[in-house]
Amino acid sequence: MLRYGYFHDLKSGPKLLIWGGPDDMARLYEALSQVAASEGPQALTDIQGCVAVDDTTVLLETVGEAEGIVRDEVEADVFHWRVDEEDWYAFQELVEPLTHCSSAKPGHQYLESLANGEITVMVSCGEYPDDLKP
């Protein structure tokens, strides 16, 4: 199962961590392509088998000028991941190697845009337990 959560201080700063196994990474890989083409998903939980481990909602938005991850001004548990089409495809390329990870060869990638905000998205395969909580 693909999981995600917002961690206030993970590896030296705030992170949106998305983790799972190689099959989960393959679903994320496909979803990033769909977001780039503005065909969905519109939220991380729209990806089949993706669940939040906390109360956060992450909305995926293709915009003309990348902003990165920003917290909603009204709802503190809602995050907007706003990047341009090119960044979504670049993120997809970074996730692809994780579709081949194993317990013997775990890995992660940081999905950052040029608009580097204070929150970084980290995608991890085989590095974190299923029951990890923020």
| pLDDT 10s digits, 8-24 | 999 888 999 999 999 99
Topology (CATH level 3) of domain 2-125: Gyrase A; domain 2 (3.30.1360)
Residue 66 confidence (pLDDT) above 90: no
pLDDT of residue 114: 55
Domain map (residue ranges) of the chain: 2-125
What letters, b where the CB count within 10 A reaches 16 and e where it falls short, cover 109-119? bebbbebeeeb
Q: d(Cα 4, Cα 69) in Å, to the nearest integer?
A: 14
The residue among 18 and 112 whose pLDDT is bigger is 18
